[in-house]
Structure 1
Amino acid sequence: MENAVREDLVLSHAVVTADVTAKFDDVDIAQWLKTLPTHEYQRCAPGDHKAAGYTVDDDGTPMSINIEMIGTGLVIQQYRFEVAEPHYCKMVSLSDVLTPSGWTTTQVIWELRMERLGGDRCRYTNTVTSHPTEGFLQFIAEHGQAFAEAAHARQDASGRHCRIETPRYAQSIARWATARSALTA
């Protein structure tokens, strides 16, 4: 019950876009995620992004493992690929969060989308939505924090983080697409 996700409550929600130049047909977000090196991940949010990796879950579902700071919390995300397409990925993680007060969990939904604007102009949209777990709600109550307070703090931290990483993700995806194009030329 502790890890039951409260989808009726939103802890944070951020949607940030960035325009880049890339050949749309060479963009493959799913493959970019599966081959994203730790150091490139770190460059996408300097100081916040700590490590990235790729694995599969017990049932064979592809997973992206991301470790990052969101505000004062160290977040260990174990994203399962729910949708893994070249221009859209939906990743869902039951994430462990180390706060100054101890460990808790949240659900994080990460959506990555690339749309063609015209020619080689593309728009990357980075959407991150977090829901509390029952354990998270119990954790904040034990520490005297109301949900509205926790949500406000997480919204500020997540929004700030997404504004930093989104343009860098877009540029990284565009570089990956350009390198892929050069290999097939």
Structure 2
Amino acid sequence: MTATVRSDLILSHKVVTADVTAPFDHVDIATWLKTLPTHEYQRCAPGDHKAAGYTVDDDGTPMSINVEMIGTGLVIQQYRFEEASAHYCRMVSLSDVLTPAGWTTTQVIWELGIEQLEGDRLRYINTVTSHPTEHFLEFITGTGQTFEEAAAARQQSSGEHCELETPHYARSIAEYAIAHAAAVAA
């Protein structure tokens, strides 16, 4: 899909952290994302997360496909792995959004990071930034909404969603690391 992203405009931005305990050397966010089962994804945002999957884009770039509700919008995200390592992933999606007024698109940048605080004490950092597309700007104009109104609504709904999912993502990543450490030790 091709769209003109307005990276000069921020539709929403949220950074949420959660502390967990897990062996830092066994954390692997990239592998966790590529193997995340749909039901675990659903547990990470009960009621909001609908489905997750893994595929590749036409050029072979790994992709995470996520379907979720954010506020009143059903969002279908096709995240390309732009940077993928054990402790940090930067995912970028041109996302389709079904709103009560119809379909539109936004760009979503999802950054997942983990840092070691001390020993096995870790901090997961979930950062989500959204930019409008030209289509989105035309779409909201057609519904009589200003960009400021749309951004305020998206900031609130996306912020609430990030607050919900972040501690669950942290727990899931930690459990994955603990299981990997146990498998290696066995």
Q: Same fold, TM exceeding 0.5?
A: yes
Q: Does 1:163 align with 2:163?
A: yes
Q: Does 1:60 align with 2:55?
A: no
| Length-normalised TM-score, structure 1 | 0.99
Rounded to whole Å, the distance in 2 between the matches of 1:45 and 1:3 is 28
The one-letter code of the counterpart of 1:163 is E
Q: Which residue of 1 aligns with 2:19?
A: 19
Rounded to whole Å, the distance in 2 between the matches of 1:74 and 1:97 is 6
Rounded to whole Å, the distance in 1 between the matches of 2:161 and 2:136 is 21
Q: Which residue of 1 aligns with 2:142?
A: 142
Rounded to whole Å, the distance in 2 between the matches of 1:6 and 1:95 is 14
Rounded to whole Å, the distance in 2 between the matches of 1:52 and 1:121 is 28
Secondary structure of the structure 1 residue equivalent to 2:40: helix
Structure 1 stretches of 4+ moved >3 Å: none
Rounded to whole Å, the distance in 1 between the matches of 2:144 and 2:3 is 20
Q: Which residue of 1 aligns with 2:114?
A: 114
Q: Which residue of 1 aligns with 2:78?
A: 78
Q: Which residue of 2 aligns with 1:96?
A: 96
The one-letter code of the counterpart of 1:45 is A
Q: Which residue of 1 aligns with 2:5?
A: 5
Q: Which residue of 1 aligns with 2:37?
A: 37
Q: Which residue of 2 aligns with 1:48?
A: 48
Rounded to whole Å, the distance in 2 between the matches of 1:52 and 1:152 is 27
Rounded to whole Å, the distance in 1 between the matches of 2:177 and 2:25 is 8
The one-letter code of the counterpart of 1:85 is S
The one-letter code of the counterpart of 1:15 is V
Rounded to whole Å, the distance in 1 between the matches of 2:147 and 2:140 is 7
Rounded to whole Å, the distance in 1 between the matches of 2:160 and 2:3 is 26
Rounded to whole Å, the distance in 1 between the matches of 2:182 and 2:55 is 27
- Kindly state the Cα deviation for residue 3 of structure 1 after the two structures are TM-superposed: 1.6
- Kindly state the Cα deviation for residue 115 of structure 1 after the two structures are TM-superposed: 0.1
Secondary structure of the structure 2 residue equivalent to 1:167: helix
Count of residue pairs brought into register by the alignment: 184
- Kindly state the Cα deviation for residue 30 of structure 1 after the two structures are TM-superposed: 0.1
Secondary structure of the structure 1 residue equivalent to 2:4: coil
The one-letter code of the counterpart of 1:18 is A
Secondary structure of the structure 2 residue equivalent to 1:109: strand
| Length-normalised TM-score, structure 2 | 0.98
Unaligned runs of 5+ in 1: none
Instruction: Give the root-mean-square deviation of aligned CA atoms.
Output: 0.6
The one-letter code of the counterpart of 1:33 is L
Rounded to whole Å, the distance in 2 between the matches of 1:87 and 1:110 is 14
Rounded to whole Å, the distance in 1 between the matches of 2:83 and 2:121 is 24
Secondary structure of the structure 2 residue equivalent to 1:183: helix
Q: Deviations over 1:133-183 (max 9, x none)?
A: 000000000000000000000000000000000000000000000011111
